[in-house]
Structure formats: structure tokens, C-alpha cells
């Protein structure tokens, strides 16, 4: 007997797992109008500088602390259980601690992007992060 209600689906098989050279492991859950990225960023590592034009990005820190740096020399520490909306700015995420930091990125897609899957298949899976 199936006890699962018919109003939800479990998406454990529709995930893209990426281990990035910059020290971040990401599980990408991709849908037509939103994405969820589960990130583990290793100690003393950082993501590349990037900006978003076609998505809204909200970050929820689950474990540890991250530092968000903006190109205009501003930065902000984001602690466990804190939520931050990253506006359309050039920024990067840094783990300047000695422990892994875990965070979820919720991305609302404002405009349809052609072939999201193909963008993730490009060099080290970073080009889709520059939307």
C-alpha cells in the first residue's frame, strides 16, 4: 500500500551532483521556474565572482558561517539560520572558517533560460551560475 499523498513528488533521482574545483560540492534541483542548490563549501575556500541577471537568489545558511563579498569591497557574514537575498550584484561566497559551511540557495527564475541542463554541462558547471 502506498501511503504517499498524491499531491507531492519526491525528486531524489532528478538531482545533478557537482564537485567544483573551488571547494564547493553542490546538489542542483532544477525546475522550469525555480532551482534549489544544496551547497557544502569547504574551509578556507571561495566561489568565483558572479552575478545574476535572470534569477532572484536567496541563501539560507544551515551550518557554519559564510561570508558574502561584493565587488564594491563590501562584505557581510551570514550565520547559521540566517537568510539573505542577494540582489543583482557581482558577488562571491567565501568560507573563511576551519569547518565546512552548508547553505541552500533558492533561485526564482525571472526569465526562461534555454536549456538549463546544457548550461550546467559546460566547463566545471559554472556558466549557469552567472545568470
Reading the chain (131 residues) residue by residue, the pLDDT tens digits are 456 556 566 666 678 999 999 989 999 998 888 999 999 999 999 999 988 888 889 999 999 999 999 888 899 999 999 999 987 788 999 999 999 999 999 999 876 654 444 444 443 444 444 44
- 3-state SS class at 18: strand
pTM for this prediction: 0.76
Residue 5 CB contacts under 8 Å (≥ 6 apart), including other chains:
none
- Give the count of alpha carbons within 13 A of 5, CB side only: 2
CA angle 50, 91, 57 (to 5 degrees): 80
pLDDT in the model for residue 116: 45
For 31, phi then psi, to 5°, come to -130, 165
- 3-state SS class at 88: coil
Amino acid at each position: 500500500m502506498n501511503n504517499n499523498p498524491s499531491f507531492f513528488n519526491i525528486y531524489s533521482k532528478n538531482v545533478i551532483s557537482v564537485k567544483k574545483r573551488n571547494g564547493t560540492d553542490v546538489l542542483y534541483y532544477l525546475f522550469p521556474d525555480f532551482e534549489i542548490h544544496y551547497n557544502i563549501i569547504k574551509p578556507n575556500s571561495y566561489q568565483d565572482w558572479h552575478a545574476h541577471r535572470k534569477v532572484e537568489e536567496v541563501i539560507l545558511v544551515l551550518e557554519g558561517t559564510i561570508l558574502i563579498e561584493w565587488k564594491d569591497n563590501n562584505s557581510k557574514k551570514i550565520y547559521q539560520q540566517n537568510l539573505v537575498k542577494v540582489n543583482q550584484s557581482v558577488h562571491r561566497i567565501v568560507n573563511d572558517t576551519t569547518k565546512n559551511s552548508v547553505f541552500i540557495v533558492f533561485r526564482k527564475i525571472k526569465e526562461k533560460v534555454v536549456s538549463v541542463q546544457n548550461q550546467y554541462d559546460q566547463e566545471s558547471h559554472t556558466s549557469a551560475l552567472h545568470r
